[in-house]
Chains A and B, each alone.
Chain A
Amino acid sequence: MAVADTMRERLAAAFAPTVLEIVDESEAHRGHAGWREGGQTHFRITITATAFAGMGRIARHRAVHAALGPDIVGRIHALALEIRAAGEGG
């Protein structure tokens, strides 16, 4: 399964998000450190879920890292996260 599909499955199961966008930005980093042939190394995730309400920034990121799991977090090179609780602007 593609890395992005695994990410989508795990994040959907963990947070029931109302917004979930996963973009593989690997091609933009072609040739940079950590890039590999075939991509799937650099990702940007935008996620909105009520589950994040009341959590600080660090706690939100840790929750997403935990939901993705060490296998995913360990194999990708870069992960940009935009995490919002429902109703928050941005």
Chain B
Amino acid sequence: MSDVRARIRQQVDGNDVVLYMKGTKMMPQCGFSSRIAGVLNFIGVDFVDVNVLADEEIRQGIKEFSDWPTIPQLYVKGEFVGGCDIVTEMTLSGELDQLFETKGIPFDRAAADKIREANA
């Protein structure tokens, strides 16, 4: 296992929710990254943000790690969940709530409902 693979494995296994993104959760630098970070912030999920723009090795390595060509990428309990489109779809369908529930990740369901009401 290469070093970068080991680093990523450690990040996603050592933290319940990890978002690989462009920019940071406080200052996203890409609309797609901003959207996932915004959802997680809004529904009160505690997550670790990894800014790929600050680490070229991770920026390339994460694409190989997940066999997924784009960023952002969301991981929950070590498992790849998806990118912006998938996380958006799962938010609106309620599947994201189910995932967090199943994995024991605290979140604010009322806030998630608000997102769905606003996008109904």
Contacts and interface: CB of A to CB of B under 8 A. Distances in A.
Interface residues of A, number: 14
A33 B22 contact: yes
A80 interface: yes
In this complex, the interface size class of chain B, counting residues with CB under 8 Å from chain A, is: 10 to 19
Given A57-B82, A58-B82, A80-B84, A33 B30 contact: yes
Contacts of B67: 62
B65 interface: no
A52 to B, nearest CB: 13
Interface of A: 32-33, 57-58, 61-62, 65, 73-74, 78-82
Interface of B: 22, 29-32, 67-70, 80, 82-86, 89-90
